Amino acid sequence: MSEAKPIRVMLVDDHAVVRSGLGAFLMVFDDLELVGEASNGKEAMRLCEQVQPDVILMDLVMPEMDGAAATRAIRTRWPHIQIVALTSFKEDELVQGALQAGAIGYLLKNVSADELSSAIRSAYSGRPTLAPEAAQALIHATRRALDNPGYDLTERELEVLGLMVEGLSNPDIAERLVVSRSTVKFHVSSILSKLQVTSRTEAVALALKNKLVKTAR
């Protein structure tokens, strides 16, 4: 009777120390095998072609191509690959973006080794795993959708949209909100997608027309 093959796991995170720690963690479990590492979404796409992992642990806020975009692209091209978002962020829009892109799980980086290994096995079997904070974010999203049908912008996205209406650039918005530029870029991309427009100008025009944000008199 042959032994079951280990689950092939790939890591995607722009911090080398995080990848190193996760790689060491995977070595503890006989049924999990690290088959590749990438530092951003574009690298992950190239690596998937080569190593064909079973499960990917995907960071969300990264340069080049963020985790949600990479998840969507990978799931479209290789639907058999399961993806678990593993991030430090628990904002509602990040949770929604990852799950809508096709992630089967959403965990925070403070998760225990046993919880993470269990989530990998669950993902491989097609079962979702959500951190309590991610589950709460989905509840918030459902409530917002009922209160504001048509657009499902989070409070942070509305804040960013308001600054876009003021004419601020991404670097200006990042400075105003004290967040990284890549985080702002993620928010703007999500806003354009939800409003079903292709440019900042269209988003601003739609926001003003539908009074989505408060404007200074």
> What are the boundaries of each domain within the chain?
7-138, 148-207
Residue 94 has pLDDT above 50, yes or no: yes
Q: Choose between 148 and 84: higher pLDDT.
A: 84
User: Taking the mean position of all CA atoms in its chain, how far away is CA 59?
Assistant: 7
Query: CATH top-level class for 7-138?
Result: alpha beta
Given a contact cutoff of 8 angstroms between Cβ atoms, the answer to whether 32 and 57 are in contact is: no
Quick one: pLDDT at residue 171? Answer: 94
Phi-psi bin for 126: left (phi > 0), alpha (psi -120 to 50), beta?
left
Residue 13 DSSP symbol: -
Residue 105 has pLDDT above 60, yes or no: yes
- 148-207: CATH architecture: Orthogonal Bundle (1.10)
Given a contact cutoff of 8 angstroms between Cβ atoms, the answer to whether 174 and 181 are in contact is: yes
Model confidence pTM above 0.95: no
Quick one: pLDDT at residue 144? Answer: 60
User: b vs e for 36-67, b when ≥16 Cβ sit within 10 Å of the residue's Cβ?
Assistant: bbbbbbbbbbebbeeeebbbbbbbbbbeebbb
The percentage of residues in the chain with a pLDDT greater than 70, rounded to a whole number, is 92
Specify the DSSP element, H or E, that contains 87: strand 82-87
Select, from the ranges 53-57, 131-135, 150-154, the one with the highest average predicted confidence (pLDDT): 53-57
Residue 5 has pLDDT above 50, yes or no: yes
Quick one: pLDDT at residue 155? Answer: 84
The model's pLDDT over 159-188, given as tens digits with 9 standing for 90+, comes to: 999 999 988 999 999 999 999 999 999 999
Residue 53 has pLDDT above 60, yes or no: yes
Let me know if the fold of 7-138 is the same as that of 148-207: no
